[in-house]
Structure 1
Amino acid sequence: MRSPRVAGERPWQSAHALLLLPITLIAVITVVDVQAPTDVHLGPTLVIAPAITPSFAGPLTTAAIGALATGAQILIGATHGGIATTNHVVQIITLFVLSVLCVLYSALRKRRQAQLAQVRTVAEAAQHVLMWPLPEHIGPLRIASLYLAAEDEAQIGGDLYAATRGEGAVRVLIGDVRGKGLPAIGEAALLLSAFRESAHRNIPLAELAGTLDQSVSRYAADLEPPEEAGERFATALVVEIPDRDPVTRMTSCGHPPPLLLSPGHVVTVPSLHPSPPLGVHAGAEHTLDVFSFEPGDTLLLYTDGVVEARDARGRFYPLADRVARWTEDSPEALMHHLRRDLLAHAGGRLDDDAALIALHRTPVDRRRHHGRGATVGTLRHGPDTQAGQRTG
């Protein structure tokens, strides 16, 4: 996340202010050297001015500062025995050559910055294509999300999330592809595409997890290098939150369980029955777990990069303990607190990608859904799974 500029500050104003530094250095060094005894030589320090200019200015400005410094060196030589002396000639030539090198460095630096800006733009575009921004409101939920990539200058990695609106329910996916970098991004794109294609069909949640499992297994079979056989997999948690019933349905594929935040600083961890990660055992049975999710509660989904973040003493990030302070905050405020606290715990840098989603259930109009109830428990996927979740 980029740091916003101070209100009213403009880049050209900042550069002009910094430009006073090398100009002032040249003026001070020239005046002091002219006034100093002949055995004191401060002229060689003029190279400092063109050397620091590329850090905030382009090659043209650097060339101007270099020319100004060279002119100052000529002036110093003229006042100390003439510029034809061997010592002054060597100093002038040396300063000119070093100024040229500073100009070349500035040109290369500017080119590198342009390339980096283009790469960052492509990364941002890829992030929006692969992981569409989650809506702030969807169905009965308020949503906020946070993504922290471990790779330098990256905005996306192997962690992923998505949400879609189905018939009378919201379905959410959060997952973690093994590894980092471009291979992990490719597998994350595959998993997101499979979820978006299948989630809206209103198939049972466990069946949806099986579909995702088949997609990852096919990808591994077709594209997995021989030396990485059996090492391509992804953990995932598929969540369904019905509009009417105050429950949440989950199917875990080797993914960490979410946290349920209730008013009064109460944090509970649902007890899931996870199946193997996606791509490990194609055709594995997937368990459906159902838990209470009342209006006012917040469900916090996360990847293992959050809880495995270590501090300087090697201690893991205590997510459940930390979020207990913010159970009554809005999803947006919760993400703000977690981002600041997690980076502070890890010393400002994570070793693995980290993703979080906060799902806050807003109050519903009970008059519209009077008489609806829910059976809370653990159900296994079968022909009558969806029908057996509700009573009444």
Structure 2
Amino acid sequence: MVMGLRRPSAPPREPLPGADPAETVAGDTRIGSWALALWVLLLTAAVVLLDVFTGTELPLIPLMVVLPALASVFCTVRQTTGVAVWVTLVVVGSRIALTGAFWDVAFLIGFTALASGLGVVACAARIRHANEVARLRSAAVALQRQILRPLPVVTRQVCAHGLYEPIEEDRFVGGDIYEVVQSPHGTRVIIGDVQGKGLPAIGVGFAALGAFREAAVREPDLTAVADAVEDAVVRHNGFSAETGETERFVTALLLGFDDGDRVQVVNCGHLPPRLLHGGTASAVALDRTSVPLGMAALGGEARTAERVGFPPGADLMVFTDGVTEARDADGAFYPFDERVGRWVGQEPDDLLDALRADLETFTGGVRRDDVAVLVLSRPPAGEKAAGSPGDAGTQQTQGPAT
């Protein structure tokens, strides 16, 4: 999910000289044609010289049939076709120049043409698959832009700064969600993690967020908001089951802010928040943790809310397990509480920048899950969102984070 991100997009790479822009896959520049021609000529010269030195008892030129297969991995279809034609001409020309049995020459010509053709076909299949993956990823990103809003978001009770780092792999996107809603009952916040990845996870996330946005304004009780989101996830799972899709659940944390110094929390199987105050970061003790959304039928108990302290000047950090379960090269988990404790007292943007950089260094740039973090603080009086306390859904965005 890539909306409201603090991660700047990478500039597009320029094509190499001689590369075919029409066959460049998802912005990934292929090897330049002139560089490819130079390498092919050098390899041909080396093989021909070795063939001359080894004599007719050990012909090496027919081994050049592997070049189209290698080119199919790195080159465009046009480049692979050029390599295939060149190899066919060299191998056939070298064999015709020698005296030999007709069927030996005919077999070599047929084998060379077949191997070269398979290389071109393999290259076309690779590029077609890569384009399909890129189109599907783009569609997933477009869908996610309609789900999550840019950060920061400022309401009458809360200023929410955030960090979202999606994994960028062919397995597509993850299912982390967040939302901040101003309602007549105060500010409601949700952060959650949908089980699984890809478009099915996005569908569940969209259902959960849609229900939350509506119920957050309508329901006076935070537990009723959680129940509404539960019902939406269950209904979506019912539709998914009818089409053969896997049913999914959502771990989530729902928070309700008013003008007091306490926060209402409903924990649906999610990680507890961290309170950043007085120079320390401490886990907020939650005694009433219920099952994830979509699994209430298995819990047997109604969800309940509890109130936790949120003193003036404090920040409340909520996050998904992409942070706590990040690993280094040796498989060790990221020491989240220890590292966050170093940055307590910094501005939310600076804290999130430090966390992002530290995660990148710790994991070596290799992450296995999305990273979603919200830092919630009381906004200064002059930055509170405009509108009367009864204005439902009133929000003010400061523009997308950078």
TM-score (normalizing by structure 2):
0.72
> Which of 327, 336, 348 matches 2:356?
336
Query: Which AA in structure 2 matches 1:212?
Result: V
Q: Which residue of 2 aligns with 1:71?
A: 89
Q: Distance in 1 between matches of 2:167 and 2:13?
A: 30
Shift of 1:166: 3.5
Indicate the residue corresponding to 1:15 in structure 2: 31
Q: Give the letter aligned to residue 10 of structure 1.
A: P
Query: Could you say what the CA RMSD is over the residues aligned between the two structures, in angstroms?
Result: 4.0
**In structure 2, the residue corresponding to 1:200 is in which secondary structure?**
helix
Partner residue, 1:59: 77
Q: Is the partner of 2:290 in helix, strand or coil?
A: coil
Structure 1 residues 6 and 18, CA gap change in structure 2 (3 angstroms) = farther
CA contact (8 A) 1:23 1:49 kept: no
Aligned equivalent of 2:125 = 108
Q: Distance in 1 between matches of 2:208 and 2:131?
A: 33
> Per-residue deviation at 1:343?
3.9
With normalisation by structure 1, the TM-score equals 0.73
Alignment check: 8 A CA contact 2:322 2:372 kept: no
Name the counterpart of 1:160.
177
Unmatched 5+ residue regions in structure 1?
369-392
Higher relative CO (Cα under 8 Å, sequence separation at least 6) belongs to 2
In structure 2, stretches of 5+ residues that fail to align are 20-28, 385-402
- How far is 1:78 from its partner? 5.3
2:263 matches 1:258: no
- SS, match of residue 276 in structure 2: strand
Instruction: Quote the offset at 1:267 in angstroms.
Output: 0.8
Q: Does 1:236 align with 2:252?
A: yes
Q: How many residues align?
A: 354
Correspondence 1:25 to 2:33 = no
Pair 1:358-2:374 in alignment: yes
Separation in structure 2 between the aligned mates of residue 366 and residue 111 of structure 1, nearest angstrom: 54
Q: Return the alpha-carbon distance in structure 1 between the equivalents of residues 287 and 140 of structure 2.
A: 36
**1:194-247 Cα deviation digits (max 9, x unpaired):** 101122347243442343344445556x55869x9xx864332112345x5565
Q: Displacement, 1:338? A: 5.6
1:341 to 1:193, Cα distance in 2 relative to 1, 3 A: farther
Does 2:290 correspond to 1:276?
yes
Letter of the 2:215 counterpart = S
Measured after TM superposition, the shift of residue 335 of structure 1 is: 4.8
Counterparts of 1:338 and 1:127, CA distance in 2: 26
Q: Does 1:118 align with 2:118?
A: no
Equivalent residues of 1:309, 1:316 under 8 A apart: yes
Aligned to 1:45: 63
Asked whether the 8 Å contact 1:22–1:53 carries over to 2, the reply is no
Instruction: Tell me the CA shift for residue 34 of structure 1.
Output: 4.5
State the AA in 2 paired with 1:274: R
Distance in 1 between residues matched to 2:132 and 2:377, nearest whole Å: 44
Deviation of 1:172 (Å): 1.6
**8 Å CA contact retained: 1:142, 1:361:** yes
Question: Percent same amino acid among aligned pairs?
Answer: 29
Partners of 1:127 and 1:156 within 8 A in 2: no
Q: Secondary structure at the match of 1:299?
A: strand
1:321 aligns with 2:311: no
Match runs of 1:185-204 below 5 Å:
185-201=202-218, 203-204=220-221
One-letter amino acid of the structure 1 residue matched with residue 287 of structure 2: H
The letter for the 1-side match of 2:310 is S
Amino acid at match of 1:104: V
> Is 1:146 the equivalent of 2:164?
yes
Structure 1 position 47, deviation (Å): 1.6
